[in-house]
Amino acid sequence: MTVAEGTELPPLTIEATPTFVVSTALATRDFQDVHHDRDSAVARGSKDIFLNILTDTGLVQRFVSDWAGPEALIRSVKIRLGVPCYAYDTLTFTGRVVSADGHDVVVSVSGVDSLGEHVAGTVEVTLP
């Protein structure tokens, strides 16, 4: 499988329900209270519980491998967080191939919620 630079990935929408925020925090073994305890999150200056960064890495990996296929090899996931993704928000991922060298491609990814860009990053992937 080869692709051209500029290829757009099909978007992915994630409903960041409280269940999603809490279950992903626990599945990534991240027990920081701000990811499962609303009162603590509010006391620390947040509006609500919010997604943890290990989940963002996982979502970005999933977004690219959903598109690239089960046998694509993920080489790296580099992300930078922007605004928080609080419980009850909706996260929409879009992506675009920014460079392609045979089967080795680099995809830029952006995840946006109601507050703005929550996560931006790049994924290096070797296509099958």
Partner 1 sequence: MTIEETAREIAARGECAPRLARDPVNQAMVNNWVEAIGDTNPVYTDPEFAAASVHKGLVAPPAMAQVWTMGGLNVPRGSDDPLGLMMELLDEAGFTSVVATNSEQTYHRYLRPGEQVEARTALESVVGPKRTALGEGWFVTTRVRWYVEGEAVAEMMFRVLKFRPPAPKPPAAPVLRPVISKDTEFFWDGLREGELRIQRWGETLRHPPGPMPPDGSLDAKPDYVVASGRGTVFSYVVHHHPPVPGKDLPFVVALVELEEGVRVMAELLDAAPDEVHIGLPVVAAFVRVDEDLTLPAWKVAR
Does the protein bind partner 1 through residue 58 (CB under 8 A)?
Answer: yes
The yes or no reply on residue 17 touching partner 1 (CB under 8 A) is: no
* CA 81/CA 49 separation, integer angstroms: 16
* 127 is an interface residue for partner 1 by CB under 8 A: no
Q: Does 116 bind partner 1 (CB under 8 A)?
A: no
> Is 37 one of the binding residues for partner 1 (CB under 8 A)?
no
In the chain, DSSP finds a helix count (H) and a strand count (E) of 3, 5
Q: State the pairing for strand pair 89-101/73-81.
A: unpaired
DSSP label at 125?
A: E
- Is residue 52 a contact partner of residue 58, using CB atoms and an 8 Å limit? no
Choice from 1, 26, 90, 117 touching partner 1 (CB under 8 A): 26
Q: Would you say 96 or 124 has its CB closer to partner 1?
A: 124
Amino acid present at 61: Q
- Where on the chain is the footprint of partner 1 (CB under 8 A)? 14, 20, 23-24, 26-32, 44-45, 52-62, 65-66, 70-71, 73-81, 84, 128
